[in-house]
Amino acid sequence: MSKIFLAITIITSFLFSIACVQKGGPDADADAGKTIKVGMYVDLTGATSSFGVSTKNGIDLAVEEINKAGGVLGKQLEVITEDDQGRPEQAKTVVQKLISQDKVQVVLGEVASTNSLAAAPVAQDAKIPMISPSSTNPKVTEVGDYIFRVCFIDPFQGSVMAKFAANDLNAKTAAIFGDVQSDYSKGLSQYFTQEFTKLGGTVVEEQKYTQNDTDFKGQLTSIRQKNPDVIYVPGYYGEVGIIAKQARELGMMQPILGGDGWDSPKLWDLGGAALKNTYISNHYSVENPAPEIQKFVQAYQAKYNVKPDSLAALAYDAAYVLADALKRAGTADAQKLRDAIAATKDFKGVTGNISINDQRDAVKPAVVLALNPDDKSLTFKTTIAPAGTAISDNANTNVTNAAPSNINVPANLGNSNAVTTNEAIKSSAADPSTAANK
Ligand code: PHE
Query: What is the 8-class DSSP label of residue 85?
Result: T
Provide the 10 A C-beta neighbour count for residue 420.
Answer: 13
Residue 112 Cα to ligand 1 midpoint, Å, equals 5
- Measured from the CB, is residue 260 less than 6 Å from ligand 1? yes
Beta strands in 11-56 (DSSP E): 35-42
- Measured from the CB, is residue 156 less than 6 Å from ligand 1? no
d(CA 393, CA 412): 25
- Measured from the CB, is residue 424 less than 6 Å from ligand 1? no
Asked if residues 141 and 62 have their Cβ atoms less than 8 Å apart, the reply is no
Strand-pair partners of 368? 281, 382
Three-class DSSP category at 261: helix
- pLDDT value, residue 388: 76
Ligand 1 pocket test: which of 50, 56, 111, 143 has the largest number of ligand atoms within 8 Å of its C-beta?
111
Residue 111 Cα to ligand 1 midpoint, Å, equals 5
- pLDDT value, residue 18: 46
- Measured from the CB, is residue 184 less than 6 Å from ligand 1? yes
d(CA 392, CA 379): 20
- Give the residue whose CA is nearest to atom 10 of ligand 1: 261
- Measured from the CB, is residue 179 less than 6 Å from ligand 1? no
Asked if residues 274 and 252 have their Cβ atoms less than 8 Å apart, the reply is no
Domains 35-152+291-363 and 155-282+366-428 in one fold: yes
AA identity, residue 307: K
Residue 294 Cα to ligand 1 midpoint, Å, equals 22
- Measured from the CB, is residue 154 less than 6 Å from ligand 1? no
Ligand 1 pocket test: which of 135, 151, 157 has the largest number of ligand atoms within 8 Å of its C-beta?
135
Provide the 10 A C-beta neighbour count for residue 69.
Answer: 9
Main-chain phi, psi angles of 366, to 5 degrees = -115, 155
Residue 286 Cα to ligand 1 midpoint, Å, equals 17
- pLDDT value, residue 12: 53
- Measured from the CB, is residue 231 less than 6 Å from ligand 1? no
Angle between helices 217-226 and 237-249 (to 10 degrees): 60
- pLDDT value, residue 29: 75
- Measured from the CB, is residue 42 less than 6 Å from ligand 1? no
Length of the chain: 438
Q: Identify the sign of the CA torsion 246, 208, 84, 134.
A: positive
Asked if residues 343 and 336 have their Cβ atoms less than 8 Å apart, the reply is no
Looking at ligand 1, which atom is closest to the CA of residue 136? 4
**CATH ID of 35-152+291-363, from 3.20.20.70, 3.40.640.10, 3.40.50.2300, 3.90.1720.10:** 3.40.50.2300
d(CA 141, CA 110): 12
pTM of the model: 0.87
What are the residue ranges spanned by the domains of the chain?
A: 35-152+291-363, 155-282+366-428
Provide the 10 A C-beta neighbour count for residue 197.
Answer: 14
Which segments in the chain show pLDDT lower than 70?
A: 1-28, 392-438
Ligand 1 pocket test: which of 51, 110, 151, 154 has the largest number of ligand atoms within 8 Å of its C-beta?
51
Residue 431 Cα to ligand 1 midpoint, Å, equals 26
CATH architecture of 155-282+366-428: 3-Layer(aba) Sandwich (3.40)
- Give the residue whose CA is nearest to atom 7 of ligand 1: 134
Asked if residues 176 and 189 have their Cβ atoms less than 8 Å apart, the reply is yes
What torsion, rounded to 10 degrees, do the Cα atoms 42, 46, 51, 56 define? 40
- pLDDT value, residue 6: 53
Residue 5 Cα to ligand 1 midpoint, Å, equals 68
- Nearest CA-CA partner of 184 in 212, 148, 152: 152
